[in-house]
Amino acid sequence: MQHTLPKLPYALDALTPHISKETLELHYGKHHQTYVTNLNKLLVDSEFATASLEEIILKTSGNSDFAGLFNNAAQVWNHTFYWHCLSPNGGGEPTGTLKEMIEKKFGSLETFKAEFKTACLTQFGSGWAWLVQEGSSLKIVKTPNAETPMTKGLKPLLTCDVWEHAYYVDYQNRRPDYVDTFLAHLVNWDFVAQQLDD
């Protein structure tokens, strides 16, 4: 199976001024594309040649013999998920069941945002912060490098990419400003709600 770079759900300049066209050209057009290219090279004559992205991730996780396959497959998946967590009309507040679950778990949306920001800022080096579903409840987790919550049996709902290439062009070393902007102006709450398991 040949994997391809998924189409962005918006134009390259659609997230301006919060995330610039230049950042998306580099992050999506170069970094994400490189993960897809490397994955396809590693899959040639591999036992995973016909497997889906999710199958590759789950079957290679924790196996050092397949570290390259895992890292590239997981990064393709993580980035694709991240793009959908963003919206030109993002920010605001969740509604319905998602809002109720956030308030039940965290007490308020503001408390959730504070805890999610802390996860983003305390992920040392490269990685991701996630809102995930575990059974009927929610939790915030962070993962280093290419790791993804699905390998722990958790359902990803929302992620923020805190690799430096996600924000350095626009925010330099100011990760807190990037995270604040992500939460205030970019989160696609409709997409997050659609990820909920019944």
pLDDT, tens digit, 9 for 90 and up, residues 105-122: 999 999 999 999 999 999
Arithmetic mean of pLDDT, 74-86: 98
Is the pLDDT score of 12 beyond 90? yes
CATH of the domain spanning 96-194: 3.55.40.20
Q: Are strands 127-134 and 155-161 parallel, antiparallel or unpaired?
A: antiparallel
Arithmetic mean of pLDDT, 26-46: 97
pLDDT reported for residue 158: 98
C-alpha separations of 134 from 27, 138, 156 in Å? 30, 6, 9
3-state secondary structure of 117: helix
Backbone angles phi, psi at 15, to 5 degrees: -95, 0
Q: Identify whether the C-beta of residue 123 lies closer than 8 Å to the C-beta of residue 49.
A: no
Mean pLDDT across the chain, nearest whole number? 97
Residues spanned by CATH 3.55.40.20 within the chain?
96-194
CATH fold of 21-85 reads Helix Hairpins (1.10.287)
Taking the C-alpha atoms of residue 140 and residue 123, their distance in angstroms, rounded to an integer, is: 12
Q: Identify whether the C-beta of residue 193 lies closer than 8 Å to the C-beta of residue 97.
A: yes
Arithmetic mean of pLDDT, 24-51: 96
Is the pLDDT score of 1 beyond 90? no
Residues spanned by CATH 1.10.287.990 within the chain?
21-85
**pTM score of the predicted model:** 0.97
**SS3 assignment for 50-94:** CCCHHHHHHHHCCCHHHHHHHHHHHHHHHHHHHHHHECCCCCCCC
CA angle 152, 5, 91 (to 5 degrees): 65
